[in-house]
Structure 1
Amino acid sequence: MENGQASRTALGAATLRAAHQLIDGDVKLLNDPVILELIDPETRSRICENADTFNSPGTLGMRTHIVLRSRYAEDCLKEAYEKGVRQFIILGAGLDTFAYRQPSWASGLKIVEADHPSSQAEKFDKLIKAGIAIPSNVSFINVDLETDDLERTFRNFINFEEPVFTACLGVLIYLSQSCVNKIFQFLGGFSEGSEFIFTVSQKRNDKYAVITSQKVAEEGEPWISYFEPEALIEQLKNNGFTFAEYLSPEDAYELYFNNHDLRLPPPSKKNILRAVI
């Protein structure tokens, strides 16, 4: 991301979440009316007028991934809350909307949205223009993940003596390996019962991946870090996590797609992980 510029890929992800609300029928994998308020009317019109483009195989698969990762993270968060977790960090929050459509049980959560200052400023602007109030249980942290000391950055917002649930969706691929290691070490030092839901990618050479990689690089947000599954699980355990597993396509199908009238196709790859301390 270039200095002074909000994340363009975050806006792209928001557009695909909006497409799910607008063109995927009445049965939703994720009900997110707020995202429609955070994108401009021109984008909403473009989605509706170009549904065929948004339903191309590559874009459809990416829409499944983006919607599924949020739904899975929020379901895991609810499970963690029921076990007593009361702190929630959204790392690289972008235009995530959970805090602005939070269910009644989430009022007991302390929600911390952390992102680059430029992205935070753009989100504030969109929230204000949409007339969306910021709930009293939400705080914001400006952070440069590559350069900032994470413990110093979060210590006035998080009680490190209590468990924390952290979501980091669609972020790590844009960060250097040293930054990823720093994040794993930081989160792996949290209290017992803490959880970490995040997404990663393996190197792919299919046409859609190549085209998308070139596009995001041209926007100043190149894909940098890729992970091999077995090595990643070992890396997490070496950093303090006692359990880590991918959400497999088979498990995702059983949880969300089997016997449901969803227009989205089930995922074909495993790239969402859950790690627990």
Structure 2
Amino acid sequence: MTWTAFGPMMIAACERFLPPEARIVDDDLAPRLLPPALRLLIRLPAARRALVAGSERRLPGIWASVLCRKRYADDQVRAALEAGVDQVVVLGAGLDTRACRLAGPKVRAFELDLPDNVARKRRRLTRAFGRVPEGLTLVPIDFDRGGLARTLATAGFRADRPAVFVWEAVTQYLSEDGVRATLASLSRAAPGSRLLFTYVRRDFLDGVNLYGGGRMRRDFVERRPVFRFGLLPEEVAGLLAPYGWAEAEQAGPAEYAARYLRPSRRDRGLSAPTEIERFVLATTAAAREG
């Protein structure tokens, strides 16, 4: 696992050193999944300040964006569970702890990722808890190769029951075919299901608007073309519709500031979230029509 896995969890872990009322994300498990050296590093206030400053140099607003997108996903998963959804599926889970933290004893949780990432996650969970938590199933998959529905069924997922699918910070690493293959598999989701996913703006990938992220674009688009897929906000509904999903909400800097930064008074200490990435909440089209 690289910075793409450790970085977001390190940001979440740093929140634990703030008073509860100032935390945007409250993830008590995040520090336990970090390597020992990182756990020790973030205990130092000077190191935490340096990490924030370094991330801001790389992409202004990324620290706040990661915190807010994680809180948004937490809030939406909680809302789905409170509405009676009893399956949580995390696509491209990395080191994320959401399934461990939010899925209660009556909820089945599935985390899917590349085989190497799943093996590392299994080792880290075993070190932290002695075993993979009960009710959580780790599932290896390559999203670009398809087969999601079959893979989930083999792992014990119930396609006839509603689920909440979380696809955070993944779509930009896939080909368009991989994104569409995943959506095609999710088109069989039961009524009442919900889909949460982030996307990177296509005008950023194309270099039309850098949103202050020129350095990130050079690193992830020009030098190492790992960011491959993007959307414009107005394209989201059209992407989802053929696969039976209806856009319910998009969340970006304005929503994050109103819901999380200003209430916690963190808007005074953090740069505004970046415009480069947005979160989408979608529901099954049948549920919207009903």
Q: Same fold (TM over 0.5)?
A: yes
Tell me, yes or no, if structure 1 residue 54 matches structure 2 residue 90: no
Aligned residue type for 1:198:
F
Q: Which runs of 4+ in 1 moved over 6 A?
A: 217-221
Q: Match of 1:120?
A: 118
Equivalent residues, number:
269
Equivalent in 28, 32, 37 of residue 32 of structure 2? 37
Counterpart for residue 274 of structure 1 = 281
Question: In 2, Cα distance between the equivalents of 1:38 and 1:62?
Answer: 21
41-50 vs 81-90, greater mean Cα deviation: 41-50
Q: Secondary structure at the match of 1:76?
A: helix
Alignment of 1:1-277 (within 5 A): 6-22=1-17, 24=18, 26=20, 27-47=22-42, 48=44, 49-56=46-53, 57-58=56-57, 61-102=61-102, 106-131=104-129, 133-156=131-154, 157-202=156-201, 203-204=203-204, 205=207, 206=210, 209-216=213-220, 222-262=226-266, 263-269=269-275, 271-277=278-284
CA distance in 2, matches of 1:232, 1:176: 16
TM-score, normalising length: structure 2:
0.82
Aligned-residue Cα RMSD (Å) equals 2.6
Partner deviation per Cα, 1:129-188 (whole Å, 9 max, x = no partner): 334543221111111111141121111321111111000101000000000011122213
Residue ranges of structure 2 left out of the alignment (5+ in a row) = 285-290
Return the alpha-carbon distance in structure 2 between the equivalents of residues 219 and 166 of structure 1. 32
Q: Which moved more, 1:94-103 or 1:33-42?
A: 94-103
Q: Deviations over 1:69-92 (max 9, x none)?
A: 221112111211222211110000
The 1-side partners of 2:236 and 2:226 are apart by 21
1:122: how far off?
1.1
| One-letter amino acid of the counterpart of residue 99, structure 1 | A
Q: CA deviation at 1:39?
A: 1.2
The Cα shift of 1:251 comes to 2.9
* Higher helix fraction (1 or 2): 2
Displacement after TM superposition at 1:207 (Å): 8.1
Distance 1:221 1:94, change over 3 A: farther
Partner deviation per Cα, 1:44-87 (whole Å, 9 max, x = no partner):
34443433332333556212222222211121112112222111
**Could you tell me the TM-score, scaled by structure 1's length?**
0.86
CA distance in 2: counterparts of 1:207 and 1:247, whole angstroms: 17
Contact 2:25–2:67 (Cα < 8 Å) also in 1: yes
How far 1:254 sits from its partner (Å)? Answer: 2.8
1:178-213 superposed Cα distances (whole Å, 9 cap, x missing partner): 000111222132111111011001142548633234
Which segments of 5 or more consecutive residues in structure 1 lack a partner in the other structure? 1-5
Instruction: Specify whether residues 43 and 7 from structure 1 end up closer, same or farther in structure 2 by C-alpha distance, changes over 3 A only.
Output: closer
Q: Once the 2 structures are TM-superposed, how far is the Cα of residue 267 of structure 1 from its aligned partner? A: 2.8
**Which amino acid in structure 1 is aligned with residue 273 of structure 2?**
P
> Which deviates further from its counterpart, 171-180 or 259-268?
259-268
Residue-by-residue CA offset, 1:222-252 (whole Å, 9 max, x unaligned): 1111111111221112221133321143333
SS of aligned partner of 1:139: strand
